[in-house]
Amino acid sequence: MNRVARLIDLSWAHKNQFLGQDIGIAVVDTGIANHIDFFYNHQSRIVAFKDVINGRKENYDDNGHGSHVSGILGGSGEASDGRYVGIAPRCHLIGVKVLDYKGNGNISDVLEGMDWIIANRKKYNIRIMNISVGTGSDKEIDENSLLVQGVNKVWDSGIIVLAAAGNNGPNPKSIGAPGNSRKIITVGASDDDVLVEIAGNRRKDYSSRGPTQECIVKPEIIAPGTNIVSCMNNRVGYAVKSGTSMATPVVAGAVALLLSKHPNMTPREVKIRLKNRAVDVGYEFEKQGWGMINVRNLLLD
């Protein structure tokens, strides 16, 4: 995460105490473990947990993906003596388990999880939804797919939605649902030019490219997603993972920092701000969209 912090110019925000304080981020994923990086002053920052898969009340993660994403979003770095600090280390985390222990799930479960988020958005101050979940299957990537309708509904409720572009690059038009929604913010990986392992396969140039099947420019923005160190699904461990699933919480965390400075910004205002403050890093438009997230640019008035 130190490399990520340098690449996105994060230190200025943390030095100025923009830490995502009390901003609720819903993590639609495999769950979230009780890692000590998710505590502050001995109090858990996991303020709510919804288990669509098994109906359990206490938060857990039987896969690890959701905890890794959550650590990028808001890990405190406590278990690593401050080495692996997340983007918004004082945010509140809302775990929404819609995927099973293998990381698989049904669209109906994802939709149920998103409906729960909308219903509970005020109770838990849910301002952001991170969904590093998606499908690349042809039947589900048109704009009228159920997943796209679902994320659009969350966006329309006033929650800023960030979705992973997917790991089906480098071919154009390879972004699946729900990242192909024209409303939400879709995140690609900026550093996919090295060979890494994703879901058991060795991959390079993995970040899905735009435009969508309807020729909408995607992704909107890119962030580091390769060889990211973050929380495991236990108390103190860390693991390395790669993919646009890891890039998405980098941007979602940056949005939490922005909201800790400007709490009344609407989803549309946040999206415009991201567009205007991203940095062109020289990739083709289909890969980088507006460019790379830069936290200092994003927060400075």
The model's pLDDT over 225-271, given as tens digits with 9 standing for 90+, comes to 999 999 999 999 999 999 999 999 999 999 999 999 999 999 999 99
Average pLDDT for residues 263-292, to the nearest whole number? Answer: 97
The model's pLDDT over 26-44, given as tens digits with 9 standing for 90+, comes to 999 999 999 999 999 999 9
Average pLDDT for residues 156-174, to the nearest whole number? Answer: 96
Catalytic positions:
29, 65, 245
d(Cα 267, Cα 151) in Å, to the nearest integer? 13
Task: Give the 3-state secondary structure percentages of the chain, helix then strand then coil, rounded to 5.
Answer: 30, 20, 50
Least confident range from 59-63, 97-101, 196-200: namely: 196-200
Q: For CA atoms 94, 240, 208, 278, give the dihedral sign.
A: positive
Q: Give the model's pLDDT for residue 52.
A: 98
Alpha helix segments (H runs only) across the chain = 2-8, 11-15, 65-74, 107-119, 146-156, 244-261, 267-277, 285-288, 295-299
**In which band, very low, low, confident or very high, does the pLDDT at 301 lie, cut at 50, 70 and 90?**
confident
The model's pLDDT over 7-20, given as tens digits with 9 standing for 90+, comes to 999 999 999 999 99
pLDDT at 163 over 70: yes
Q: Give the model's pLDDT for residue 180.
A: 94
- The separation between the first and the last C-alpha atoms of the chain, rounded to the nearest angstrom, is 26
Entry pTM: 0.97
pLDDT at 139 over 60: no
Q: Which domain holds residue 294?
A: 2-299
Domain count, the chain: 1
**In which band, very low, low, confident or very high, does the pLDDT at 140 lie, cut at 50, 70 and 90?**
low
Q: Give the model's pLDDT for residue 138.
A: 59
Q: For CA atoms 200, 201, 207, 211, give the dihedral sign.
A: negative
pLDDT at 136 over 70: no
**In which band, very low, low, confident or very high, does the pLDDT at 135 lie, cut at 50, 70 and 90?**
confident
Q: Give the model's pLDDT for residue 2.
A: 84
Mean predicted lDDT score pLDDT of the chain: 95
**In which band, very low, low, confident or very high, does the pLDDT at 134 lie, cut at 50, 70 and 90?**
confident
**CATH (domain of 195):** 3.40.50.200
The model's pLDDT over 71-83, given as tens digits with 9 standing for 90+, comes to 999 999 999 999 9
Q: Give the model's pLDDT for residue 124.
A: 98
